[in-house]
Structure 1
Amino acid sequence: MHSTKHNRRRGALRAVAVAFPETVRRNQWWEDHHPALVANAREATLAKLWDNFADPSTLGAYDRAFAPYLRDPWRGTVERRVMGPEDTARSLSARAIREAMEAGGYGPDDIDLILVNALRPDSHVVGDAAFLVGELGLRAPAIDFETACSSALVGVHLASDLIAAGRYERILVVTCCTYTRDVDQADSFSWFLGDGAGAMIVEAVEASPAHEGLLAAHTIPTVETCGAFAYHLELVDGAPALRIVGNKKLAGRSIRDHSERYLRTCVDGALSEAGASLSEVDFLVCNTPTAWYGPFCADVLGFEGRFVDNYPRFANCGPALWPNNLHTALCEGRVRPGDLVLGYSIGSVSTACAVLLRVGEVAVGAQP
């Protein structure tokens, strides 16, 4: 999947906002409610889904980044946002959309297309897109799409390409994660998961080297991770319920063994398309599905200190990870107008994607 860099138009980010549940669940919650689970995890040393690696000094970048967390049962997770009984994928997505539109000064008639991702949506098979249009009083067509944790970045890529093709002037991309409603809190897997949503507005600008916008993109499949995670239907308290299930043998190993190749392939492809080099890039915005993934990416690419890692505060909130890190970078002034930003996101059982974008004036919603 490649962007049409020779067209006269491209998509530029105009607004970014995030929304999270109010409930913050810290590690102490499991100490209080499931003490035996925590004690067993400490005794076992390693979390149930991750492999025990050899001496990190003899291994590659991924294992070096992972090494500091070998003896931490929480694997660097400090807190996560957890959906309450009134929260839904649609309510989180709607909050993020309202924040982005208000920040950017947009009304219902200003959006031409909405790209909606939820992992997972509130109903089975049918996505949340049409429901959100109705709830928010928008006038644009809405399309559901899904490519797991890389959805936000792929959504920006798709939006820019549709704008470059002349189809639309302004596209809203919203991504949402609802992991915690589908995981047993008495399972240590729940320690690493959180919920949240992000919304971004992409607008048409003139395509020239000096102007802002998405300059290039490169997306590849992550087929080696197929089977690492899945949703299964199980009986919970006598009723059928979806549960996220991780393959103990495959999950950690497949991500570890292929992460560096995915990263380099996507980044090299995007840079080549743009005719740029890493030395020209000002900042890295990557997704952070684990505590060590951001440091790993920064180490491989040479961006030490020039990236944002929200994992300790929000844990793995899937497709909301990338917009949340971008939002933080903008709010803290670490990414400024004129900066050349490298975006990268990996999704299990889906795709990995890198984009190169020149940032202009971007309106931001409130910090969570």
Structure 2
Amino acid sequence: MIYPPVGIRSIAINFPSVIRTNDYWRKNYPDLVAMAEEKSLSKVFSPADSTPSNQFEQVMTPYLKDPFRGTIERRVLGSDESSLTLEYQAAKNAIAAANLSPEEIDLMIVASLWPENILPGNAAFLAGQLGLRGAAWNLDSTCSNAMVALQNATALVRTGEYRNVLVVVSCTYSRFTDENDTLSWFFGDGAGAFVVAPLKPSQGILGSKIVNTSATCGTFYNELTMDAEGKPRMLIRAAKNTNRVLSETAVDYLRECCLGAVAAAGVTLEQIQFFAFNTPTAWYSHLCTQALGIEPERTINLYPYYANIGPMLPIANLYHGAQLGKIHENDLVLVYTVGSVSNAAATVMRWGDVALSTAPATSANLTDVLPKLVLV
């Protein structure tokens, strides 16, 4: 079936004001750093047995000597920031980059990990702030939020139901982790937005493959606790078998989705110019290039500078890939994401004339650190 050309028209990213380096924990939590190998982050990312037993564990091994598991910086919310403040600026910038007005946005899909309220999500609140009059929906697929929202937006524009769909994604993990838990070293915050609209002939989304990740159910979960002031607080926890489940399923999900997406698009992996993997760990990009048999130079690894920003990772990868000149108009691009207890997704697109908003001051200065972002 031949579909009308629809895809990403503009991209914006936005990060909170606080940049937290490893020295923050070395200075404020020296005992925690000294005992890191006995704590949660180490338990999640260590071999399930005494020696590495699969590709995930093999590429992880060089990072085991680092208590921070390859993280260098992470962006976290300041006292006056929230998922809504991050989303608002990203959404506003994406609309402006697309040279559109709020009145021209027919639909906004919002995927917040997590929203400011348990229910409802951020969509209606954000629509009011932006002055939108069209529909505003909430969506959830954890770390695959961006790709699932992209598939939905593309389908709706193709049918003619909507013309300009704004997708807004945020991740605010710092609200759900404690500084004195080493799992907090692994997480960062951020927001991104992109406009999905008709493009030039042959450009846009060519094929996708999405599968559920039910095998990861029970790995990461949320626990309702009480803080020091006796107020309820939700925290992210990891089950005892999380390391085994993640390492044993990673390559299978990757191959099934990526090979399925290129087949649906009628292309091959060799024809893809740029791969945007969601890099939830420092070694994940290496795992992907090794498992798919592609050259490391065809992707980038943002993890050391943003940490795990969940559903924001594919948006940041695409933004910086284009910003650094690694993606050009009409290039074939493959995006892959995997979310625990949700979906793994891959999408192949032919890159259009995508407008990029100005990068925020708290975004990594990747021009200076690019050599470190290519795994060899």
- Interval containing the TM-score (normalised by the shorter chain): over 0.9
- What is residue 322 of structure 1 aligned with on the other side? 314
d(CA) in 1 for partners of 2:289 and 2:194?
A: 24
**CA deviation string 1:55-109 (max 9, x = no partner):** 45xx443222211101111000001001011111111001111111122211111
d(CA) in 2 for partners of 1:50 and 1:323?
A: 25
Tell me if 1:145 matches 2:103.
no
SS in 1 for 2:162: coil
d(CA) in 2 for partners of 1:243 and 1:179?
A: 9
For structure 1, list consecutive stretches of 5 or more residues without a partner in the other structure: 1-5
Tell me if 1:218 matches 2:209.
yes
> Does the 8 Å CA contact 1:46/1:71 hold for their aligned counterparts?
no
- RMSD of the alignment, in Å? 1.6
> Does the 8 Å CA contact 2:41/2:183 hold for their aligned counterparts?
no
1:47 positional shift: 1.1
Q: Aligned in 2, Cα 1:166/1:27: closer, same or farther, shift over 3 Å?
A: same
> Does the 8 Å CA contact 1:284/1:303 hold for their aligned counterparts?
no
SS in 2 for 1:153: helix
- What is residue 3 of structure 1 aligned with on the other side? none
> Does the 8 Å CA contact 1:127/1:144 hold for their aligned counterparts?
yes
d(CA) in 2 for partners of 1:166 and 1:10?
A: 12
> Does the 8 Å CA contact 2:37/2:43 hold for their aligned counterparts?
no
- What is residue 46 of structure 2 aligned with on the other side? 51
- What is residue 244 of structure 1 aligned with on the other side? 236
d(CA) in 2 for partners of 1:90 and 1:227?
A: 29
SS in 2 for 1:81: strand
> Does the 8 Å CA contact 2:40/2:181 hold for their aligned counterparts?
no
Moved more, 117-126 or 38-47: 38-47
- What is residue 335 of structure 2 aligned with on the other side? 343
For structure 2, list consecutive stretches of 5 or more residues without a partner in the other structure: 364-376
**CA deviation string 1:3-25 (max 9, x = no partner):** xxx25424211101100001000
Within a 5 Å distance, the mapping from 1:89-168 to structure 2 comes to 89-168=83-162
1:46 positional shift: 7.3
* Identity level (%): 38
1:279 positional shift: 1.2
> Does the 8 Å CA contact 1:341/1:359 hold for their aligned counterparts?
yes
Tell me if 1:33 matches 2:28.
yes
TM-score (norm 1): 0.93
d(CA) in 2 for partners of 1:8 and 1:304?
A: 32
Structure 1: 4+ residue segments shifted above 4 A: 42-46, 53-56
> Does the 8 Å CA contact 1:7/1:165 hold for their aligned counterparts?
no
- What is residue 260 of structure 1 aligned with on the other side? 251
Moved more, 60-69 or 130-139: 60-69
- What is residue 70 of structure 1 aligned with on the other side? 64
d(CA) in 1 for partners of 2:344 and 2:73?
A: 26
1:270 positional shift: 1.0
- What is residue 291 of structure 1 aligned with on the other side? 282
1:43 positional shift: 7.5
**2:178 pairs with 184, 188, 212, which one?**
184
> Does the 8 Å CA contact 2:39/2:181 hold for their aligned counterparts?
no
d(CA) in 2 for partners of 1:43 and 1:143?
A: 42
1:45 positional shift: 12
1:48 positional shift: 2.8
d(CA) in 1 for partners of 2:95 and 2:241?
A: 41
**2:194 pairs with 180, 200, 212, which one?**
200
- What is residue 309 of structure 1 aligned with on the other side? 301
Q: Aligned in 2, Cα 1:337/1:62: closer, same or farther, shift over 3 Å?
A: same
> Does the 8 Å CA contact 1:10/1:163 hold for their aligned counterparts?
no
**1:18 pairs with 13, 18, 24, which one?**
13
The residue identity in structure 2 corresponding to 1:150 is S
Q: Aligned in 2, Cα 1:318/1:160: closer, same or farther, shift over 3 Å?
A: same
Q: Aligned in 2, Cα 1:315/1:94: closer, same or farther, shift over 3 Å?
A: same
